[in-house]
Amino acid sequence: MEITIQYFDGCPNWKAAQVAVLRAAPAATITLQPVESADEAQRLGFRGSPTILVDGRDPWADADAPVGLSCRVFQTDSGLAGLPSDAQLAKVLREAAAG
């Protein structure tokens, strides 16, 4: 399983996302991909930091979310948060591993 965390330095949540992914999938290959400009965000379809791609797919994709350099929010059982909950992340990774 390949996991890419897309981020921009202005958002503090990408580091917490990296820790959460490492905790949930210690054997996964994790690539950090900085998004450094609005043009690059447009080209990538970057909908905010952190974006966690699992095998190239964004499991939390929201087609209505704006593209650009912004902090992303995720709907969790506890309300909006700067990254998915541990349970949400574990579920997505289990489903990806199952194929």
What is residue 27's predicted lDDT score, i.e. its pLDDT?
A: 87
CATH number of 2-98: 3.40.30
Which sequence spans correspond to the domains of the chain?
2-98
What is residue 67's predicted lDDT score, i.e. its pLDDT?
A: 95
Give the closest residue to 3 by CA, choosing from 24, 21, 19. Answer: 21
pLDDT along the chain (99 residues), means of 10: 94 95 91 97 96 96 92 95 96 90
Angle between helices 86-98 and 13-24 (to 10 degrees): 50
Beta carbons within 8 Å of 13's beta carbon, 6+ residues apart? 49, 50, 71, 72, 82, 83
Which residue do the tokens 């979310």 mark? 65
Beta carbons within 8 Å of 88's beta carbon, 6+ residues apart? 74, 76
What is residue 99's predicted lDDT score, i.e. its pLDDT?
A: 77
Verify cis geometry, omega within 30 degrees of 0, for the bond prior to 12. no
